[in-house]
């Protein structure tokens, strides 16, 4: 086999499309079913944060009737399944890769639960979010309290009656808190340091402004802090009901309880640091700085855009609550939105740093023939979004084709659904 692509999600399918176009023999190995993570690790009401017009994969752009809307979980899954079917991707489902190592005679041994495959080149397209993380403090919580990771949260009705504590205010935590709040559950939210972004500003979706400004196209090495940018937390907002801000202060006015960072748990007694107000102020300051950037872009380009008043905080805590009794507060469940840890223990090739992250240049490792695609900040901030995954996959496919002795696709035309460099796909 010339190339083995490990992972049948959007990244693996995008690489497959480009390899097919270049005439490179390959197989896509998927441990479960195509794009299964979209169903297995998202809640029932999950909605994309990025607008549908940014849903662009090689040869497969969003073609629905709501380009400025936001697909829900099941719609994204169906869109990706259709992509796999229409592209004719050579996906073999239900094959678990258990080990990848260099072969003695060159190339790689891809060991699976159904046998060993020899491949000249390998693309790891399994993403970067493998193992849900529970913080150490979770072990101190009473066994009477139901605890689950955000990856296992499905709906308000699936939790026991009573109040719910959500720990973490990143993108998932804020949206899950919103989901519970809109369902009428009383929510307690422990805030972290996550920033936020307005959904709309001066007549447009902020993501559209940022896309026009080229923010999603700046390589990670050109960012302040360089590669450390890969550890950044995404801004919280929502695409629910056509898209809107997530204003936690407004939720507090409506009854949501906000706390600082959770620092300790013993039975039903929890301790928080007095950082709730600072966390809210930080999130708002980032949102306003993004608006400053948009204002400068509008002034510089002369775009005709309406003016808009700036955000004024609608709520501040009268005092910081640092101690909480779960039983006394009626809290029966905790949703931990504490992120994920990557796990490449099955990749037995020396391409990792001391923290276990693959080292690469835009997906190309120092081990000839081994590539990674689909990682956040693989090359740019946009690398975690469909549109930039298409570009990253093309770059990797070009390298594979060159090593395979196949001609590059150099007709200058962008594949169907892919915007030319510098253009905005709408």
Mean pLDDT, the chain cut into blocks of 10 residues (426 residues total): 95 97 96 96 96 96 96 98 96 98 95 96 93 95 97 98 97 97 98 96 97 89 68 86 97 98 98 98 98 98 97 96 97 96 95 91 95 89 84 95 72 34 29
Contacts for 202-208: CB closer than 8 Å, 24+ residues apart: 202/294, 202/295, 202/298, 202/305, 202/306, 202/307, 202/308, 203/305, 203/306, 203/308, 204/305, 205/51, 205/68, 205/243, 206/237, 206/290, 206/294, 207/50, 207/51, 207/54, 208/51, 208/424
Q: Are residues 123 and 153 in the same domain?
A: no
Which distant-in-sequence residues (6+ apart) come within 8 Å of 167 by Cβ?
A: 135, 173, 190, 262, 334, 335, 336, 337, 338
Residue 416 maps to a domain: no
Written in H, E and C, the secondary structure of 12-66 is HHHHHHHHHHCCCCEEEEECCCCCCHHHHCCCCCCECCCCHHHCEECCEECCCCC
Which residues face 4 on adjacent strands? Answer: 27, 122
Q: Are residues 113 and 155 in the same domain?
A: no
Helix axes 73-87, 10-21, angle to 10 degrees: 20
Q: Are residues 107 and 72 in the same domain?
A: yes
Which residues face 165 on adjacent strands? Answer: 188, 334
Burial of 139 (0-12, 13-18, 19+ CB in 10 A): exposed
Contact of 196 with 280, CB cutoff 8 Å: no
- CA 121 to mean position of chain CA atoms: 27
Q: Are residues 272 and 365 in the same domain?
A: no
Q: Are residues 220 and 322 in the same domain?
A: yes
Residue 280 maps to a domain: yes
Q: Are residues 58 and 82 in the same domain?
A: yes
Which distant-in-sequence residues (6+ apart) come within 8 Å of 229 by Cβ?
A: 220, 223, 377, 381
Number of domains in the chain: 2
Residue 418 maps to a domain: no
Residue 50 maps to a domain: yes
pLDDT at 420: 30
What DSSP element (H or E) covers 278?
Answer: helix 276-301
Q: How many CB atoms lie within 10 A of CB 205?
A: 21
Residue 20 maps to a domain: yes
Q: Are residues 178 and 108 in the same domain?
A: no
Burial per residue of 91-117, b for 16 or more beta-carbon CB atoms within 10 angstroms, e otherwise = beeebebeebebeeeebbbbbbeeeeb
pTM of the predicted model as reported, rounded to 2 decimal places = 0.91
Residue 411 maps to a domain: no
User: Quick one: residue 62, left, alpha or beta (phi over 0 = left, psi -120 to 50 = alpha)?
Assistant: beta
Which residues face 372 on adjacent strands? Answer: 124
Helix axes 386-404, 10-21, angle to 10 degrees: 40
Residue 386 maps to a domain: yes
Q: Are residues 315 and 241 in the same domain?
A: yes
**DSSP-assigned letter for residue 215:** G
Q: Which domain holds residue 304?
A: 133-336
Q: Are residues 103 and 143 in the same domain?
A: no
Distance CA 273, CA 254 (A): 23
Residue 419 maps to a domain: no
Contacts for 147-152: CB closer than 8 Å, 24+ residues apart: 147/333, 147/334, 147/336, 148/333, 148/334, 148/335, 148/336, 149/335, 149/336, 149/337, 149/338, 150/176, 150/335, 150/336, 150/337, 150/338, 151/41, 151/340
Question: Among all chains, which residue has been given the structure tokens 């899950």?
Answer: 176
pLDDT at 234: 83
Q: Are residues 95 and 137 in the same domain?
A: no
pLDDT at 67: 97
CATH number, domain with residue 398: 3.50.50.60
| Radius of gyration for the chain, computed over Cα atoms and rounded to the nearest angstrom | 23
Which distant-in-sequence residues (6+ apart) come within 8 Å of 23 by Cβ?
A: 406
Q: Are residues 219 and 365 in the same domain?
A: no
Q: Please list the alpha-helical segments (H only) found in 152-262.
A: 171-182, 206-212, 248-253
Of 318, 336, 354, the residue at which a domain comes to its end is 336
Q: Are residues 239 and 198 in the same domain?
A: yes
């Amino acid at each position: 086999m010339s190339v083995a692509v490990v992972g049948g999600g959007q990244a693996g399918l995008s690489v497959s499309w480009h390899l097919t176009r270049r005439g490179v023999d390959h197989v896509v190995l998927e441990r479960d079913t195509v794009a299964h993570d979209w169903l297995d690790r998202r809640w029932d009401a999950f909605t994309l944060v990025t607008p549908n017009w940014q849903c662009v994969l090689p040869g497969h752009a969003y073609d629905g009737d709501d380009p400025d809307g936001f697909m829900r979980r099941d719609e994204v899954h169906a869109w990706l399944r259709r992509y796999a079917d229409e592209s004719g991707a050579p996906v073999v489902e239900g094959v678990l890769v258990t080990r990848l190592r260099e072969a003695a005679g060159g190339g790689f041994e891809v060991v699976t639960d159904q046998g060993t495959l020899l491949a000249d080149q390998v693309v790891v397209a399994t993403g970067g979010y493998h193992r849900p993380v529970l913080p150490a403090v979770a072990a101190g919580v009473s066994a009477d309290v139901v605890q689950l990771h955000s990856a296992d949260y499905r709906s308000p009705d699936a939790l026991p009656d009573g109040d719910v504590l959500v720990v973490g205010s990143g993108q998932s935590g804020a949206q899950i808190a919103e989901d519970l709040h809109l369902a009428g559950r009383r929510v307690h939210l422990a805030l972290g340091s996550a920033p936020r972004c307005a959904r709309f500003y001066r007549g447009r979706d902020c993501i559209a402004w940022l896309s026009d400004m080229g923010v999603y196209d700046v390589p990670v090495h050109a960012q302040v802090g360089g590669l450390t940018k890969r550890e950044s937390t995404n801004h919280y907002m929502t695409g629910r009901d056509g898209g809107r801000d997530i204003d936690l202060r407004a939720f507090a006015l409506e009854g949501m309880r906000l706390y600082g960072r959770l620092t300790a748990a013993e039975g039903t007694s929890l301790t928080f640091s007095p950082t709730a107000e600072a966390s809210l102020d930080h999130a708002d300051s980032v949102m306003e700085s993004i608006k400053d950037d948009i204002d400068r872009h509008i002034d510089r380009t002369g775009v005709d855009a309406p003016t808009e008043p700036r955000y004024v905080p609608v709520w501040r805590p009268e005092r910081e609550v640092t101690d909480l009794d779960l039983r006394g507060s009626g809290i029966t469940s905790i949703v931990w939105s504490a992120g994920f840890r990557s796990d490449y223990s099955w990749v037995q090739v020396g391409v990792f740093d001391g923290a276990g992250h693959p080292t690469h240049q835009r997906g190309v490792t120092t081990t000839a023939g081994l590539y990674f695609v689909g990682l956040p900040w693989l090359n740019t901030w946009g690398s975690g979004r469909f549109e930039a995954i298409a570009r990253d996959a093309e770059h990797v496919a070009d390298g594979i084709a060159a090593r395979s002795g196949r001609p590059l696709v150099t007709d200058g035309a962008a594949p169907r659904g892919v915007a030319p460099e510098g253009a905005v796909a709408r």
